[in-house]
Structure formats: C-alpha cells, structure tokens
Structure 1
C-alpha cells in the first residue's frame, strides 16, 4: 500500500532533486562565494617606506636615522633633491647604509604571514658602488690593451650581469663610462691581427656586443669606435656567421649607430664590406622580429644618408621584391619600417623599374594606405605617388592602381583628414589617377559611403 508523502517530505525531495541537477562546479563556486574572504595581513607601519608607503624590500638608513626603501630614496636623490625626504637635511647616495636588522624583521614577518598570501622578501644583493664600477671597467680596458681576449670577455660578462641585475647598477656603470670602455675594447680586439686567440677574441667580441645593448644610448665617442673599419668588418662577420642571439645584438648596435644620424658613422657603414648583404640577409632569413626591424631601420638611415649608392646596392640585392613580399603579411611595426625603406629606395629609377615589374607592388601599397597607422599611411602614399608620377606613358601603373581601389582609398583618406606632405601627395595622386580613368570605368557608390561631402 502506497502512503502519500507529507508536504514537508515532498518539498525536501524536490529540493534534493533540484540541487542534484546543478553542475558540481557551479555548486562549488557558490559555496566558495558564500565563504567569508580571508583576512589580509596588515603591514606594520615601521616596515613601510616613508616615500612610497609600500613595504620595504631593501631598507637603507640615512645619517638622519630615517629608513627608506633603496629604490625610493635613490630615485628621490636622482631627481635633483639631495636632501633627506623626511628631515630635509643634506643627503648623498653614498651615505645610505643597508639596514640588515629591519630587513630580517620584514622577512620574518613575511614568513609568519605566509598563510595570508604574503610572499617572503628576497635578500637584496649588494649594489655596485662607483668604485666597483670603475674597477670593473678599468679591468676591461686593461685586458683589451694587452690583447687578453679571454680576460676581457670575463670582465665584460661581469659588467653585463651586474647591469642587468638592477637599474641602479646599470646607471652606476653607465655613469662610470661603461659604453665608452666597451666600445673601445671592441675596437681594439677587432683590430688585433693575431690568430692565436681567434676563438677567445670572437667570444669576447660577442660578449661586448651583448653588454653594449644593456648600456644604451651610445655617445659620439662610442659610436665612432664601433664605426671604425676593423670594428665594422667584425660586426658584418658576426651578422653573417654568428649565433642567433649574437646576430640580434650586432644588428641592434648598428641600428643604434645609424639612428644617431652621425654622417661620419653612416658613411663608414656604407663603405663596409658586405654590410648591405648582411642586412638584406637578416630580412630575407629572419632570426627574430627584433632583428628584422633593426635591419630595416639601419637600411633606412643608410639610404637617407647616401641615396644613390645605398639604393643601388639594395636594389641589386633584390630588396624591392623582398620588401613587397614582406609587406603582404607583416605586423604593424615591421610594416611601418618596410614601407619607410621602400619609399626611400623608390627615389632611384632602377628601384621603380623593379617595382613596376612586380605584380604585388601596387596592390600592396594601395592596401597599406589605410588601416595600419599614420606612419604607414604616410610612407605608403609617398611610395605609390613616386610610382605613379614617374610611370611611363604606356605603363600600366596608374591603371593597376585604379583597379585595386587606390582612387577610392585616397578620397576617403582626404575626407578623414591628413596633413603636410601626405595630403599634398594624396591630392596629386588623385589628379594623376583621375586623368587615367576612361569612360568604361565604373565606381561603386558603396565606395563613397564614408564620405561626408562630395569630392570636388
């Protein structure tokens, strides 16, 4: 005999059935949300830096008796305020003393509150002093003078490791003239003619390049050392035959020198054996995006400095075709730099002939006139203007530009707004393309839906 369930039992069963239908993950999430949040650890006031009000990681004490976090007080002093932030008394960086007692107390407190999510503050390393920096750099210079490549490489590796360890160390070594010492050591080792230490010398040169990147920017004296003929020959050799990481360092150093627009350095780079071959090879067979972009920037400044020679060399190496194919599928930064080089090279008639012969040149340039960046638009419009303006009367450059929609894109570009040379060249391009339109051409009205007023 079946007895009817009471109303209370029926309600309880319905609740159980409803709960069982809820996914397990959702039920766990609901229980977690119902749990009260874990209490946060309150940092004791005497563990806080008076400048940043954050817990100190490397406490140092000034002669005034006030303890600060090293990073905070050193930034304060570097900004031209040589006083104790709390008392206002004179304070110099070398007067700061590590407060080991406070640091140990902070570490013990972190360990005791680990359950509340507090991470232990690591024991800070002793920062490099000005005397230490001078000693290291003097060791680099002395080893380079006596031709001891192995010892020089070891000292350079130490300087680079310290510079990468903290920004404070990097600034300290840079203030002591790290970039000059490294550049001079590179120049001396590159000029060494002996083959007895060839392997050690190559390793030392690679180590110096990696260290130079840490201590950018380079001053004029450093750039001139690297731009000496023996140094440039060594750089080109590394670009062509070095390991991947070393090739990246080498081309980044070249970019730093080229972008300084130092005419003496640019002329020396342009005359270096196989310089253009090495740069083009880095673009054709990329080792990293950073290296590709650095090679493009270097090539751009070389062409700007000597259009006739540099453009001719790059064209002979197939750079026009390489850049067009690169632009077909490149990220924003690479696109901007590749367009800059292409626009600069197209000043030469030989480069334009190569572009006319490439099926993708005009379509790619038309496509890059919009939707990349203002810089890309500027260079794409300029490159397309050079091609169309200098196109032979019987050439198909203008007709091809019309077919790929360059006319409509330029109209929209002017409507949306552009300034300076880009506006002038876009307007002239429109006149050139309009003169090439024939009666059979039809432009879809949809192409003008972004315009707010008719083009006159």
Structure 2
C-alpha cells in the first residue's frame, strides 16, 4: 500500500512552512503518524494501538495484505521509530507554526519536553500531554525510557518544581508532579531513569520541598496529593544526605505530610494509600537529624501515628507508625507528647506489638521501654500495665527470636506488671509456658 507523501496545508501566509509527512510514517489503519510502530509476521508495520484494537476484535488477518496470521506477535520496529522521532523533532524545531498544525508533530514527546523547558509559556498543557504519554500502556517501554533517559524528560520536568512560586501555578506544579510520579510508578521504567527524578528534585531540595508542599496543600484532589507525597518520599529516601536534611527540615512539607495521614472527610475516614505514603515520608524524616524529629513532633506527628495505630489494620502501616513513635521517644518532645496522652497512645502501641511484624514489635517495645522504664513516667507505666494482653505479648516477643536488645528491654518492662510466678502463668495463655523469663 504505497501512498504519495502528503503535506500539511497551511494558511497562505505560511505556505512556505509546509511540512511533508513521509507516507511510511503513517499507520495503514489510522493514517496518523505512528507513535509506537510494530511489525506483524507479514512484514507490515502498524501503530501498536491501532493493530492491537484490530486483533482484540477477533481478526486473524493482516489488515493491509489480508493474509492469515500464523502469529499475532508484535515486534517493535526500532529503526522506524527512531526515524519518526528524529523527523518530529526536526520539524518542530524548524517550523514551530507548522508543527502546531499537525497533532502528531505538536504532541511528539520530544517536542513536549522542549515546551516544558521553555519558561515563556505555561508548562501545564504540555505536562498534561506528557503525563498521558507516560501513562499510556500502548506506548512501548523502550520509548518511555529513551524519553526519560536520553531525552532528559525527568530533569526537565523536575526543574519546573524549582521555579519561583510566582512563575508557576499550582496547576503547573500538579501537572509536573503527575509526570514525575508516572515515571516513578511505571514498572517499565528502568531504575536508573527513576533515579533521575530523585536527582532532579535534589538539585534544589528546598525549592522542590516547597513546591511539593504546595501541591499537598492545594492540589485538585487526593490523588494529586498522594503523588506529591510519593515524590517527597523519593527525595527523602534517595537523595544525598544534605538534600535529605534540607527536605526533612521543611516545616511546610512536614505539616502537609502529617495532614496527608489525617482523615479525608468529616466522618474521619482514612485513605490507605494516603496514610501509607504519609507514614513512609514521616518515617524517613524521623530517621534524620534530631532537630527534624523534634520539629516533626511539634507539628503533630505523634497524634497522627497513634491515630493510625487505632484505625488501620495493615501490618505495614502499623510498623511505620511504630517506627515514627520509636524515633519520637528518643527526644524529650516526643516523650512528652506520648505521655501527655498516655491513655490513648500506650494501649495503641501495646495492641499492635504482635501485629506489625518483627520490626514493628521491636519498635513497640522500644517505645514502651523509653517512657515506662528509662524515664519512668507514671502515666505511661500505668497505661501499659492496664493494657489488655500486655504481659502476654511481652513474653511472646521474648520467645520469638527477637534481637538481644529487644529481649532485654522486654525483660525490664515486665517489672511494671509486678507479678509473681503464679500470676504470670495465669496471664500467659500461650501453650509455650515452658520458658519463664525469670
């Protein structure tokens, strides 16, 4: 099926800017420039989305030749794809007016990245198209990786978050967050390219943190806020120490991450994704400098973590909340917050001790040991002694293969129960009572 090359017709004053589209760049089915050219066993190349729809309808022949298909495997035509990409980039750079006429040229991924890089225009429209491209399952992963890697899409989009607040609207920041989150969440994007996102954010961690906080505060919906939280987690977990510290000390960011862990409606409903994302970020912050932990406590991280322990049943979320409380108990501000509301906080910690995995269990013991034994807060000790099943859980933990440090802390915590051997046996309802801690 040979076609003559077609030219895009422009207004009279722009006739000299006509852009010719080679016929073999067009899909035989849609007649549009192919985004992801793939070849059938017949040797004919189609756009992946178009031929996939043809096959999904139950057709067993090649649309162009009508020959039967012994195989429906789609083989990426890398050579043609490279030619189309080069042609689209050349057309867009040589003739911006002409490029704006044809959707295939206007929406070329490379062209979109260049639009984002330009500070003269609102980046939001190009960013939305770019996010759609990266989220499109019909686009070959090779293309996405090429755009993020060699095309420097990650660095370019991350630079939007580093612009001055008066230069970029919340809509533009949200669109940039959506693009970067799509890169990070895609299974087809290589780890090396995902790290480009973290590197791009870390170039100016303070500005990136401020922009992420802005989306967390004013984003159009919960999904946008979660995406911003995931990027904050990436920055806090993968950047160099200096960038991590800068982000962790951003009061704006910490405030919004704590709010992300909170209820999403008046009924007090918690969103699992939002809670998990917020807790991951707060756990990363709590593992940083002491000053950052103290500030996080001041902003309300302890009540947020305790609320999560009461409301969530997922072991992963509980373990993260317990790690946050363990770090909080390492500073005076955190211990004060735990003991101030001991009747709510301590039973929540005891209740999740054996329901949050080994790490969560050891974090729970560390929290109880810090406030009940080392600093001997009477309110905390009384709340722990009154918590249902506390003694049993400590004994179980000691027999579970925990670390020597956790075992020693559990042994010292047993003293708050003031039991003798008989009462210990009465409260220890496990069948493994052959091991006594004392």
- TM-score normalized with structure 1 length: 0.65
The match for 2:214 among 230, 237, 259 is 237
Deviations 1:146-171 (A, max 9, x none): 31443x33333333222222275344
Name 1:191's counterpart in structure 2: 163
The match for 1:181 among 147, 153, 170 is 153
SS of 1:215's equivalent?
Answer: helix
Preserved contact between residue 130 and residue 173 of structure 1 (Cα < 8 Å): no
Q: Give the number of the structure whose alpha-carbon radius of gyration is greater.
A: 1
The match for 2:325 among 321, 342, 346 is 342
Preserved contact between residue 394 and residue 414 of structure 2 (Cα < 8 Å): no
Alpha-carbon separation, structure 2, partners of 1:262 and 1:334: 26
Q: Cα distance, 1:266 vs. partner?
A: 0.8
Deviations 1:31-54 (A, max 9, x none): xxxxxxxxxxxxxxxxxxxxxxxx
Q: Does 1:290 align with 2:267?
A: no
CA RMSD after TM alignment:
3.9
Alpha-carbon separation, structure 2, partners of 1:319 and 1:326: 11
Preserved contact between residue 358 and residue 402 of structure 2 (Cα < 8 Å): no
Name 2:28's counterpart in structure 1: none
Structure 1 residues 440, 98: closer, same or farther in 2, change over 3 A? closer
Gaps of 5+ in 1: 1-57, 62-66, 69-94, 112-121
Alpha-carbon separation, structure 1, partners of 2:52 and 2:283: 54
Q: Does 1:319 align with 2:314?
A: no
Structure 1 residues 175, 206: closer, same or farther in 2, change over 3 A? same
Q: Cα distance, 1:209 vs. partner?
A: 1.0
Q: Cα distance, 1:210 vs. partner?
A: 0.9
Q: Does 1:272 align with 2:250?
A: yes
Alpha-carbon separation, structure 2, partners of 1:153 and 1:102: 30
Alpha-carbon separation, structure 2, partners of 1:246 and 1:110: 42
Name 2:340's counterpart in structure 1: 357
The match for 1:310 among 284, 292, 296 is 292
Deviations 1:273-315 (A, max 9, x none): 5121111111224473212211111111122121x11211122
Alpha-carbon separation, structure 1, partners of 2:110 and 2:284: 34
Name 1:375's counterpart in structure 2: 359
Alpha-carbon separation, structure 1, partners of 2:430 and 2:251: 54
Deviations 1:213-261 (A, max 9, x none): 1211565553243232333222111111111232121111111222225
- TM-score normalized with structure 2 length: 0.68
Preserved contact between residue 213 and residue 252 of structure 1 (Cα < 8 Å): yes
Name 1:249's counterpart in structure 2: 227
Q: Cα distance, 1:443 vs. partner?
A: 4.0
Q: Cα distance, 1:211 vs. partner?
A: 1.5
Preserved contact between residue 412 and residue 450 of structure 1 (Cα < 8 Å): no
Name 2:313's counterpart in structure 1: 331
SS of 2:378's equivalent?
Answer: coil
Q: Cα distance, 1:106 vs. partner?
A: 8.4
Aligned length: 349
